Amino acid sequence: MAPVGISSVRKSFGALEVVHGVSIDIKDGEFVVLVGPSGCGKSTLLRMVAGLEDVTSGEIKIGEKVINNLLPRDRDVAMVFQSYALYPLKNVRENMAFGLRMRRTAKEVVEERVASASKTLGLKEYLERFPKELSGGQRQRVAMGRAIVRAPQVFLFDEPLSNLDARLRAQMRVEISLRHERLRTTSIYVTHDQVEAMTMADRIAVMRDGIVEQFGTPTELYDQPANAFVASFIGSPPINMMKGSLQRTAEEAWVDLGAGVRLPVPQGGNGETGMPVTYGVRPENIVIGGPHALEARVTLVEMMGPNYQVLATSGEHQLCLTVDRSNRVAAGDLISLGFDLKSVHLFDQKTGVRI
Ligand code: ADP
Ligand code: MG
């Protein structure tokens, strides 16, 4: 195990730069998730740590050692890919053992590691099977097993659960987290799924277009998003965003949505009067009734099990709120919405930065 230091790392393919100076310090034993939309540079960054892509500039360290120019096999990392890349003609045992054999590991050590990994992964009964005789979830476990037997300093995961159905994905998420609790191997996990990021990470780096927008714990990202992009990317259903202009007097502050609609804002915030802002409020921070009312028409009520998800329109704004099932609410109703002011965020419309 070791910390991983990524400093000012850039990557160009020909003339095109796709990673624009990323710096992330990952602590020893930490589980860090890189999350962001498709094409933002997550895999490229991970592949630079693995040694599968050159670093154009900047520095990557594992422990005290700069690894930019080490061959992949000398980096002591193990990677799990989205396409599990199992050897079709080798059985489970041989798939798991192959990497160790290539490194000329002693036969007894290989056997012991494969036995122990297949036990933790629930693969003991499947050691003689071939990949085509396994389910998607079992193949995924074999791919994990191949990484685990290596006992590397760092695990790298690139969307390892993307090929699984929703139920199995949720189950594997828990398994990976539990295994991390036990092994505490420094891990970097790439996904485009914010739920995976929020549930598995010690810390999350939210990426967009080759930069890191924010690096923090799941709670920090959810409660104190650095900007409108992070606020919108994290959370499901997503935060409601309404554009307006900030207004202040000595006594109070509000956002003017136009057409005479005013939304109250928290006391003591920043921003000058007249500033174009976006008013952000998460679905669970809206209540039906209460103070600070905004009139809205219900368009759809979705039964989610523990609560209702209500879609409503107010003027040009579409809003989503999650409310307790004790609310009697149906499509067509005119309702008034109240906001939990402690949880309201304001963003500068020009820069997107939270103010
Ligand atoms: P992500 O994993 O976040 O979806 P990638 O790291 O795969 O994104 O890609 C980031 C950007 O780099 C994309 O625009 C992609 O088209 C480009 N890219 C990735 N690999 C190559 C390559 N080998 N040659 C040229 N462009 C590439
Ligand atoms: Mg990718």
> pLDDT over 70 for what percent of the chain?
99
**For ligand 1, what atom is nearest to the CA of residue 38?**
4
Residue closest via CA to ligand 1's atom 20 equals 44
pLDDT of residue 203: 98
Residue closest via CA to ligand 1's atom 24 equals 13
Cα 137 to Cα 75, 83, 105, 133, 167, distances in angstroms: 28, 12, 28, 12, 10
Q: Is the dihedral of CA 96, 100, 106, 109 positive or negative?
A: negative
Q: Which of 9, 10, 12, 13 to mutate to test the pocket of ligand 1 (most atoms within 8 A of CB)?
A: 13
Q: Which pLDDT tens digit goes with each residue over 250-304?
A: 888 899 998 888 898 877 778 889 999 999 999 999 999 876 678 999 999 999 9
Ligand 1 touching residue 211 (CB < 6 A): no
Kindly identify the ligand whose nearest atom is closest to the C-alpha of 47: 1
Distance from Cα 6 to the centre of ligand 1, integer Å: 18
pLDDT of residue 83: 82
Query: Which ranges of the chain would DSSP assign to H, the alpha helix?
Result: 42-50, 92-102, 107-120, 136-148, 166-183, 194-200, 218-223, 228-233
pLDDT of residue 292: 62
**CA nearest to 190, candidates 48, 337, 3:** 48
Residues 47 and 319: their CA atoms lie apart, in Å, by: 40
Residue 169 pLDDT exceeds 90: no
**Ramachandran quadrant class, 188 (left: phi over 0; alpha: psi -120 to 50; beta: rest):** beta
Helix axes 166-183, 136-148, angle to 10 degrees: 20
Tell the burial category of 258 from Cβ atoms under 10 Å away from its Cβ (0-12, 13-18, 19+).
exposed
Residue closest via CA to ligand 1's atom 10 equals 41
Residue 167 pLDDT exceeds 80: yes
How wide is the angle at C-alpha 184 spanned by C-alphas 125 and 112, nearest 5°? 35
Ligand 1 touching residue 40 (CB < 6 A): yes
DSSP 260-296: TEEEE--TT----TT-EEEEEE-GGGEEESSSS-EEE
Residue closest via CA to ligand 1's atom 15 equals 39
Average pLDDT value for the chain: 93
Residue closest via CA to ligand 1's atom 27 equals 13
Ligand 1 touching residue 13 (CB < 6 A): yes
Per DSSP, the three-state class of 103 is: coil
Kindly identify the ligand whose nearest atom is closest to the C-alpha of 206: 1
